[in-house]
Structures are given as structure tokens and as C-alpha cells.
Amino acid sequence: MALTGVLRPGHCQLRVLDLEESVDYYTNIFGLVEVARDESGRVYFKCHDERDHHSLVLREADRSGMDFYGFKVLDKATLDKLESDLNAYGVATERIPAGELLETGERVRFRAPTGHVFELYAEKTEIGDGLGYVNPDVIIEDRKGISPIRLDHWQIHGADLDGSRDLFIKVLGFSLVERILGEDGKTDMAVWLTCSAKAHDIAFVRDERNDTLHHASFLLPTWERVLNAADILAKHRCSIDIGPLRHGITRGTTIYSFDPSGNRLETFCGGYDFYPDMKPYSWTQDEIGSAIFYHTRALNERFLTVVT
């Protein structure tokens, strides 16, 4: 599949309550690589396998949650066109100058109908994965902790799901992959959208709590690594929400946990390939348990209610 517009989730800025405690967690337990700190005190991380400078930025604050979500686009021309398309659709945009995030080019920022702040960017310094580009090795050594492959997707909550869904499909070129329908059999209660051939790059859930984060998800290569993540989280007495198990939606395998600030994280594996000619799957209210947790066919209250 040729990707010509929005390419993938590129970065996000997460609020944490204790910066150094969080740095220790994301370095030694979650297994990311600290790459930089800026003058404002933010700390930048990447996964070992990612090539761009960073995918996660931590900012100390008095409440947890996500400041913004960034998608990388193909090039500057694409960035300009998407900003024009957003404006024509009635969405106000703001240009964030290059360098406001370290090693990152100019960003186009906008607010979705669910209240979340998104940004698009075309340029970020490529620092590589340490394997080199000529006759590369295949094993990245000195990994710590869970050590996911990449930032994969987000699930976020807000009231105007329809508005955000339509914006992402009609303007940004995303495709609807799966949905959970309301009791009327028509209303979307949750949608999973992709800008690539992945099962999803973002999910929106209808919720009166605008601009909230359910989870940020990072990819693991195998089911065995998901089980290993569970072992690591248990060994370090981390707060596990649920898992390891399988989703009905996307068919991915998963474990959910919380960082020291209460932000929910998913380490995720699998999921089917999706192409724009494929029809979306729909799940009805009576099968919502199977949709989310296929093995247990039941949802725990914490998974349904806790957001940051």
C-alpha cells in the first residue's frame, strides 16, 4: 500500500507527576531510550527500533494525561495541503515553529471535536536504530525491560465522536476499520481508524469526558514478548490493568498497565492487515465483552472508567 498522506503516529507529549520517577520507569521497566532533554525540562524518548529522534515526550505536571498527539506526514507539500484542507473544512490551525520540539520541523496543530490537540509534521531528525544502513545487523543489543518496537496507536475519549471520526476520514484520509454500535444498532460508540495497512492507528470512544486518554499503545513483535511484558510488570510490582489476552477487535494480543502517574499503557502484538477496499467490522452491544477481551468476554470496571 502506497502511503502518500498521513504516514503514522509519530510522537505524543505525556504529562507525568514525578519526572525522575517516570524517567526511571520508562527507561528501565518499559525499556525506551532517553535521547534528550530540553531547556523547559521535557525528556525525550524513542523505542530502540525507531529511527526518528523521538516518539514520546514527558512533561512534569500536576495532573497526568496527554498534551497532544502527533502524526508524521509524507513531506512539506503534504503538510501544506492538509492544513489547507483542514481550514477549508472549518478547522482552525496553528503553526508551531521548527525546533519547539527538539529535532522536529514545523508542525500544524489543531483541535479535534472531541477536544484533543493533534499536530501534523513532515520533518524530524533521523538518528537511526543503531544497526546502520549498509549491511545492517539484525539484533539490537543492550535492551532493557519490555522494549517495544514502536509507538503504535492511541485510544482517546470524547463526546463528539462523530465529528472527530468524520474529520479523520474526510480530511486526513483515514479509513474506518471496526466499530462498536450502540443499542440502536446505528450509533457509533467507538471507532477504530487507520491511515496505513495496520488494523488501527487511532481509536475514538464516545465519552462525556472530552480530551481524555484511555491508553497509548506500543508494539511488540510476538505473543511471547507480550507474556514477557507481563512477567516484567509483575516482577517490578507495576500496576497491571488487565491481560495478557486477546482482543476481538483487531485480533491483537495485549496487556494493559499503568505508569507511576496513572497513565494507561498498552503493549500490543498482531492484528490483521487492512486495505481501503475492505468493509469495516461492526460489533453489537450484546457482544461488547468479546469485542474488547475475546478470551474472558467480559470488561472490568477499571478498564471502562479510568482515563487521564
Catalytic (active-site) positions: 153, 200, 215, 247, 256, 266
Q: Which residues contact 238 (CB under 8 A, 6 or more apart)?
A: 29, 257, 258
Single-letter code of the amino acid located at 52? D
User: 3-state SS of 83-134?
Assistant: HHHHHHCCCCCEEECCCCCCCECCEEEEECCCCCEEEEECCECECCCCCCCC
How many residues are there in the chain?
A: 308
Joined together, the cell numbers standing for residue 62 give 500536576
The secondary structure of the chain as a DSSP string is: ----SEEEEEEEEEEESSHHHHHHIIIIIS--EEEEE-TT--EEEE-TT--BS-SEEEEE-SS-EEEEEEEEES-HHHHHHHHHHHHHTT---EEEPTTSSTTB--EEEEE-TTS-EEEEES-B-B---SS-SSS--S---S--SS--SEEEEEEEEES-HHHHHHHHHHTT--EEEEEEE-TTSSSEEEEEEESSSSS-SEEEEE-SSTTEEEEEEEE-SSHHHHHHHHHHHHHTT-EEEEEEEE-SSTT-EEEEEE-TTS-EEEEEE------TTSPPEEE-GGGHHHHH-TTT----HHHHH---
| Residue with cell string 475492505 | 278
